Structure 1
Amino acid sequence: MVRPAMVYLSFPTELGTVYTRDELIEISSLCKEAEIPLYIDGARLAYGLAAEGGNVLLSDIAALSDVFCIGGTKCGALFGEAIVTRRPELLPRFDSLIKLHGATLAKGRLLGVQFTQLFTDNLYLSIGKHAVSLAMRLKSGFINRGYQLYIDSPTNQQFVILPNDKIEQLRAIASFEFWGPKGEKETPVRFVTDWSITNEDVDTLLSAI
């Protein structure tokens, strides 16, 4: 049997769900016991930290993982993610490997400026809270109109089962994804709110359903 080299999890997950602080503590403890690094993918980190009913802080992510990333593009940055570690020995020749694979810019100041701005005056967490609050409005709107949730997500990703004719109607005013194969009469879809969505956008969508 191949020996596992790392535990990888996403916060939040592709299904819009989040781990609790106790779950992360348990996973982190098991990783330490097995001497396996824990990596947390934070491409959507701002929205996981702002999850409704969540109890995980950025300081928890930093303390419980060995390496984690902070997503930028899903929070309005032009490009890039920040890799963070308390154990640099886990990433030998990291800079050289990035350059080898064409992922390093000759001039990286723009990337740094973006993350400096995102972590000034709590902007990163504010963006997450903004998107999640709109997602909760969207969720309530669908439920109040009799639609069934496909997944009950506390984050900015909302999964709803829609009649196929309603899907075609909504495509004229909103972008969303099929979440699985198209059904005969209805199909699960995913809506995602982010830094750019406004209350007016949500009102327009809810009026259409």
Structure 2
Amino acid sequence: MNDFLNDYNQTVHPSLLKSFIAINNKKLAGYGLDEYCKQAITNIQKRLQSPHADVHFMPGGTITNLTVISHILKPYQAVIAANTGHINVHETGAIEATGHKVISVPTADGKLTPELIEPVLFHHSDEHMVQPKLIYISNTTELGTIYSQQDLKNLYQYCQKNRLFLYLDGARLAMALAAKDNDLTLPDLAKYTDVFYIGGTKVGAFAGEMVIFNNLSINQDFRFSMKQKGAILAKSWIVAVQMNELMQNDLYFQLGQHSNNMADKLKIVFEKAGLTFASKPQTNQLFVNFPNQLAEKIIAHYAVDNLGPIDDHNCCLRFCTSWSTQIDEIDRLDRLLQSWLS
């Protein structure tokens, strides 16, 4: 089966594997207190131009979102997310299971704006409803779109004005920062979010994400929350070693760029076939509108995400390229698609 289902289906990038082999047989301190965690923290603080940023190592995206959000919010407070947001759609009610409501907002492109948030704040005006306190966004979004520097700045300033916190999910941050349209930098993220994370799972890591608190008024006792939620790894160096390697020589950004480049080539294949897109292609996720009969042939030959019908005659399929996608995979799909269309 050919596979465009996701961007974490390849085991591990060779450079990251070598980094583990290089430290084999070493005895290391536990729970993030080892030399590699300290090194990764220093390195990312320099990258962010933020020497006081508070850095933590987490095993995966869902437990990161659950732990960060539940730590920040008081029992009566809620998080606002796009209706397509990962915490609203793909995390099995993890946030709600901690006792916090996810207030979902319909968006055209997966992105939140002050204009979309304003009616929620107006509606939740007193103690008879949950109090919105945290804004959750992801970059890239679940529709593959990205936030510009001005987008993020506007959102952050709105949050500051309305005493809200801004949290950015960076599961696919490498692809966002490597996008052709991108003008955001890592220092911008330190400047215009209260907390965000740098994802490793989707750029060749075995697993692991790195959480960065920029607002040091909300990180107190965070390690207690991590431990309670099962988010502190005894071998936290597993994540740190990979993050060190990904950041060295800009490998992180190169892998994000490769994922995007493969999606660009795939986009040309679909355009040549006369197909349209459900959202603007910007990164490594393509949401393609297919006639049902053609979609059935695709699904029979490829692992893709079937997002369901658009109308009686068409449906939407998601194709996701990765750091390991090769050009011959794109060419093979191109030939197959052309043969079906002819």
Band of TM-score, shorter chain: over 0.9
Q: How many Å apart are 1:108 and its aligned residue?
A: 1.5
Among all aligned residue pairs of Structure 1 and Structure 2, give the percentage whose two residues are the same amino acid: 36
- Code of the aligned partner of 1:104: I
Report how many residues are paired: 209
- Code of the aligned partner of 2:259: A
2:302 counterpart SS class: coil
Say which of 168, 176, 180 aligns to 1:40.
168
Say which of 158, 169, 177 aligns to 2:297.
169
2:233 aligns to what? 105
**Aligned pairs (5 A) from 1:36-115:** 36-115=164-243
Give the distance between the partners of 2:300 and 2:242, measured in 1 at CA: 33
Say which of 242, 267, 281 aligns to 1:139.
267
Q: How many Å apart are 1:68 and its aligned residue?
A: 0.2
1:14 counterpart SS class: coil
1:5 counterpart SS class: strand
Bigger Cα Rg: 2
Q: How many Å apart are 1:3 and its aligned residue?
A: 3.0
What per-residue deviation string (whole Å, max 9, x for no partner) do you get for residues 132-163 of structure 1? 01101111110122112121221100011112
Give the distance between the partners of 1:207 and 1:103, measured in 2 at CA: 45
Give the distance between the partners of 2:300 and 2:327, measured in 1 at CA: 18
Structure 1 vs Structure 2 CA RMSD = 1.6
Q: Which runs of 5+ in 2 are unaligned?
A: 1-125, 338-342
2:29 aligns to what? none
Deviates more, 1:70-79 or 1:1-10: 1-10
1:66 and 1:87 in contact (8 A); partners too:
yes
2:65 aligns to what? none
Q: How many Å apart are 1:27 and its aligned residue?
A: 0.8
Q: How many Å apart are 1:172 and its aligned residue?
A: 4.4
Q: How many Å apart are 1:56 and its aligned residue?
A: 1.5
Give the distance between the partners of 1:183 and 1:4, measured in 2 at CA: 35
The answer to whether residue 264 in structure 2 is matched with residue 130 in structure 1 is no
Give the distance between the partners of 1:59 and 1:201, measured in 2 at CA: 36
- Code of the aligned partner of 2:207: F
Q: How many Å apart are 1:186 and its aligned residue?
A: 2.2
Q: How many Å apart are 1:92 and its aligned residue?
A: 2.2
The answer to whether residue 142 in structure 2 is matched with residue 14 in structure 1 is yes
Of structures 1 and 2, the one with the larger relative CO (CA 8 A, separation 6+) is: 2
- Code of the aligned partner of 2:264: M
1:207 aligns to what? 335
- Code of the aligned partner of 2:166: L
Instruction: Normalising by structure 2, report the TM-score.
Output: 0.58
Give the distance between the partners of 1:22 and 1:33, measured in 2 at CA: 16
Say which of 174, 184, 192 aligns to 2:320.
192
Deviates more, 1:167-176 or 1:49-58: 167-176
- Code of the aligned partner of 1:22: Q
Q: How many Å apart are 1:55 and its aligned residue?
A: 1.5
1:171 counterpart SS class: helix
Give the distance between the partners of 1:64 and 1:138, measured in 2 at CA: 33
1:170 and 1:205 in contact (8 A); partners too:
no
